[in-house]
Structure 1
């Protein structure tokens, strides 16, 4: 299956062939159009990265580079949030951010400039006998055991592979 992935910045060192799991996001580039009394209107760009597993939104500086990978379906985590929920979360996040920068009597008109489903790569590998997971965008490592437990009972979805 072909998927868009966020360009990995970090990769485990001294590991010949790490496996990975792909974590779902929806990325939005939004334009906010604010009307203002007695002043010129304001237009702001906003980039929202909506987590499709936990329904959280983060503001980005731009639209991250995306690459297309051909992967096995079992490496891809299924989103728990549909497009409409993700879009509404992006709008809510954009309005909160925009209203802290612009004084207006009205809510902004919002236009979706671009949006794409993309996946963040989490590397899974073994180092010094311990299974680890690395976030490909910030390089942080986590013990797989702390996420899934010693016996794997907490394990859900693609993290278990």
Structure 2
């Protein structure tokens, strides 16, 4: 069993379900911009870096985290390293910050908080269809369509 930090699920299926944990690195960054003839500008930036696809999303706060004790089989291993994730968060923060302030210099960036956390994807079956539910936005997807298996027609103990 592993102890991991999980982003607080908002949505959950009404029926019994399993889950898989998808890795993110979450950053609270503080950007300090120097400006000629004016007061310096300071921004807080929250980056959610996807450790599978190396994408970064901006958040408006640091999401609430819970500690779960889970079987290691439900935890997806990150494909992106810590340093690469941090650089992606910095790049995202600078792009966002530069659209809000005019400065001759790149900002000085302070890492206020950094966490490895997992997003919960619920796995369940409804009306014979295998589904996956995003615990943060409530999006529901057909697992059979995503995996290319289409609808199942097999019946009996040997079907999966």
Same fold (TM over 0.5): yes
Shift of 1:65: 0.2
Match of 2:156 in 1: none
| Distance of 2:33 and 2:135 partners within structure 1 | 36
Shift of 1:147: 1.4
SS of structure 1 residue aligned to 2:66: strand
User: Per-residue CA shift, 1:64-101, capped at 9, x if unaligned?
Assistant: 00000000000000100010000000000000000000
Match of 2:34 in 1: 35
For these two proteins, the number of residue pairs brought into alignment is: 150
1:138 and 2:150 matched = no
Match of 2:6 in 1: 5
| Distance of 2:146 and 2:65 partners within structure 1 | 27
Q: Which runs of 5+ in 2 are unaligned?
A: 151-159
Match of 2:127 in 1: 128
| Distance of 2:17 and 2:27 partners within structure 1 | 30
| Distance of 1:78 and 1:4 partners within structure 2 | 14
SS of structure 2 residue aligned to 1:54: coil
SS of structure 2 residue aligned to 1:5: strand
Q: Runs (4+) of structure 1 moved beyond 3 Å?
A: none
SS of structure 2 residue aligned to 1:85: helix
| Distance of 1:37 and 1:150 partners within structure 2 | 60
| Distance of 2:30 and 2:80 partners within structure 1 | 23
User: Per-residue CA shift, 1:37-73, capped at 9, x if unaligned?
Assistant: 0000000000000000000000000000000000000
Shift of 1:146: 1.6
Over alpha carbons, which structure has the higher Rg? 2
* Aligned positions of 1:46-57 closer than 5 A: 46-57=45-56
| Distance of 2:77 and 2:147 partners within structure 1 | 18
SS of structure 1 residue aligned to 2:28: strand
Match of 2:72 in 1: 73
| Distance of 2:90 and 2:28 partners within structure 1 | 10
